[in-house]
Structure 1
């Protein structure tokens, strides 16, 4: 893997991470509801750590080569995204709103579930990341390259989501109307993306 491929992956990965979606909605809600943004981000990053471990073990290649398994995972992730989006639209986060589960473990585990089932994560690890691997003549074996790119993605997620969560608490805490508008927009985006993925995937069956 050369430096050019590494920087190209970093640029594309940052672009994907900066697109608002389920992860953004979760850290914004965590910031507005007084939850620990750090725990929420740690949960999200741990979900991508699982993706990285599976991809490094070669399971990403196996899933990518199994249309039925890939469809099942995509449909499950998209359905969860629709459910989350609908929940955000029904109950948009507002400053000081009571959390359903304010415990650290609950915040962490829900974050891990959200990122673990996020279709955007599946797209990255199953379709995009393999394109940046050097299969022949590389100094590092493919599993090591996969792990390095996965760790880079996790670092990007941690940096962006900590920034988003912190800024949401600082900028939106005193603006309830703006906070609700931001979370409703994120919820609508999640619902729309999830519905699109469901329709697209089910249409191929």
Structure 2
């Protein structure tokens, strides 16, 4: 496969990953609330792994071409995102939570992350609209193999960026509890706003 094509895909993909959104908000909130940001990021990546498998199987095209299914996904994802955002607002960062409590909630944190990325219609559209632009039938690789490569590169980029965002949020704000709470509330508010915008955008497009 042409390395120039891969580099061009990475350049565009990184621009999208570096754009703050629901994933950023969740990574920041997890960085401030939990002992480790890894479970949250692992959950976010798990959601994208699901999309990658769908894309490799060719099912993303079928889902993205169904207006009713996209609307249902958007409504569900937006409602879930706003619900999580409200939870973050109601319980701002607490850096003194017990280790046992954190350990017991790691699976829940991961599942929430998978829900955020897995129910985000923007992710579906990214896989549907971005990937085909870089698929080259004459590249010597099958379409499924190229799709799998792009999906893997996207997940790697997300993992690197979100881990950095979460760790930086925790490290920089560790000694500033009042600022940490303010940033956590801002992250929760961002989730609610993004969820509302997704909902309005999709319903307006019907």
TM-score by length of 2: 0.87
The residue number in structure 2 matching 1:11 is: 11
Partner deviation per Cα, 1:115-158 (whole Å, 9 max, x = no partner): 21123322311222222222x32211111111100000110011
Partner deviation per Cα, 1:15-47 (whole Å, 9 max, x = no partner): 222222222222222222233222222121111
The residue number in structure 2 matching 1:61 is: 61
How do 1:153-164 residues align onto structure 2 when only pairs under 5 Å count? 153-164=154-165
Task: Flag structure 2 segments of 5+ consecutive residues without an equivalent.
Answer: none
* 1:102–1:167 CA distance, 2 compared to 1 (3 A): farther
The residue number in structure 2 matching 1:30 is: 30
- Whether 1:115 aligns to 2:117 is yes
What count of residue pairs does the alignment treat as equivalent? 204
Distance 1:74 1:87 in 2: 20
CA contact (8 A) 2:27 2:165 kept: yes
Partner deviation per Cα, 1:157-180 (whole Å, 9 max, x = no partner): 111111112112211111112212
Distance 1:62 1:147 in 2: 17
- Whether 1:124 aligns to 2:131 is no
Distance 2:86 2:103 in 1: 19
The residue number in structure 2 matching 1:150 is: 151
Distance 2:18 2:90 in 1: 25
The residue number in structure 1 matching 2:142 is: 141
CA contact (8 A) 1:34 1:96 kept: no
* 1:92–1:15 CA distance, 2 compared to 1 (3 A): farther
| Deviation for aligned residue 1:97 | 4.9
Distance 1:60 1:132 in 2: 16
CA contact (8 A) 1:85 1:189 kept: yes
Task: Flag structure 1 segments of 5+ consecutive residues without an equivalent.
Answer: none
Distance 1:73 1:91 in 2: 27
Distance 2:64 2:75 in 1: 14
CA contact (8 A) 1:32 1:96 kept: no
Coordinate RMSD, CA, aligned = 2.1
How do 1:185-200 residues align onto structure 2 when only pairs under 5 Å count? 185-200=186-201
**Which deviates further from its counterpart, 167-176 or 114-123?**
114-123
